[in-house]
Amino acid sequence: MTPGVVQRAFERLEWPAAELFVEPDRGWTLVQLETNFYTTNTEPSRQVVVLFGVEVEVEASPVSWTWRFTEGKSVWEERHRVVTTSSPGAPLPVGSVSHVYRWAGQVFRPRVDTTYVGRFRVDGGGWQEIPESLMVPGVPIELVTREAAAVLVDPQG
């Protein structure tokens, strides 16, 4: 079995799309403050396919995550709102992937795409690397931006 044949199978198989988690988790976030992002799509996945009558086990391991915080309206916006990391982020208080939204009253559809590297083995033999990685688009969520307003309160009532 050649790596090229397995590469094509690797690309046709369905691998897990990352679910995006946002903190605070309420469907909206405040502008001018950091919003935390992370995914739990971190474990390798395996599938068995039959190629030319031979059983081949294919494994895909997440190695990087591409965070798309907005749907940019221009090339400049898209370039500045996309970050690739070797970390899947983490829940607060650890949080390692964040973004600051600048405009209130907007609906954004952030997502995280996963880049997988693959390997395969034939009939339980030794593992071989698949030549090229594969990016799987994540599932977008809806996130609304809001602005907090300061309110003066008389402590005397």
* Of 80, 76, 81, 141, residue with least CA distance to 111: 141
Q: How far apart are CA 120 and CA 157, in angstroms?
A: 71
Residue that is written with structure tokens 């790596």 in the block: 3
User: For residues 98 and 89, what is the distance between their CA atoms, to the nearest angstrom?
Assistant: 9
C-alpha angle 12-58-62 in degrees, rounded to nearest 5: 85
Cα separation of 114 and 118, whole Å? 13
pLDDT tens-place string over residues 89-133: 999 999 999 999 988 998 999 999 999 999 999 988 999 999 999
pTM of the model: 0.87
Domains and CATH numbers, the chain: 3-146 (2.60.40.10)
